[in-house]
Amino acid sequence: MRYFSHDEAESLLPRLQEIMSWVLKLKTQARKKVMDYHRLEKSPKANAANVAIARAQAEFLVAQIKEQLEQIGKMGAMAKGLDPCLVDFPYRLNGREVYLCWKYGEENISCYHGLEEGYAGRKPLPTHVLYKDVE
C-alpha cells in the first residue's frame, strides 16, 4: 500500500475539488434521469423506445460517476462516499496505519481516522502533522 505524506495528499485537493464538483452535478442529473425512467416505466402511455432511452441515459450518467471515482483511485486515494463526499488517503501516523480524511468543501486535510473507524471516527490531526510531516 502506498502511503501519502500530508503535503502530497493536500496537493491533490484542487483536482479532487474539481472531480467531486463534477460528480455531484452528475449525481443530480442521474437521480433525475432515474426518476424519469421509473415514471416512464410505470406509465401506460409510455412506449418501449422512450423507456429504453431514459434507462440508457440514467446508466450513462452512473457510468460517468464511476469513471470519475476511478480517477481518484488512480491517484492512490479512496473515494468513500458521496453523501457527504469523502476521500481517504493511506497515511502513517506515529507508526500506525490510518487514513487522512478529506470531506468535499474542506480547504485542507485536518482530520484522520483509524482503518476501521470511518468518518464517524474522525479526529483532528496533531499539530506537528499540520505544520510538518515527521514520518
What is the chain's pLDDT, residue by residue, as a tens digit (135 residues)?
789 999 999 999 999 999 999 999 999 999 999 999 999 989 888 888 988 999 999 999 999 999 999 999 999 999 998 999 999 999 999 999 999 999 999 999 999 999 999 888 999 999 887 766 444
Confidence at residue 132, expressed as pLDDT on a 0 to 100 scale: 64
Nearest alpha-carbon partner for 129 in 87, 86, 84, 96: 96
- Supply the pTM of this predicted model: 0.86
* CB distance 113 to 100 below 8 Å: no
> What b/e readout covers 73-109, taking b as 16+ CB neighbours within 10 angstroms?
eebebebbeeeebbbbbbbebeeeebbbbbbbeeeeb
Sign of dihedral through CA atoms 135, 13, 71, 77? Answer: positive
Confidence at residue 118, expressed as pLDDT on a 0 to 100 scale: 85
**In terms of residue numbers, what domain contains 78?**
1-135
Dist CA 60 CA 39 (whole Å): 18
Could you give the number of structural domains in the chain? 1
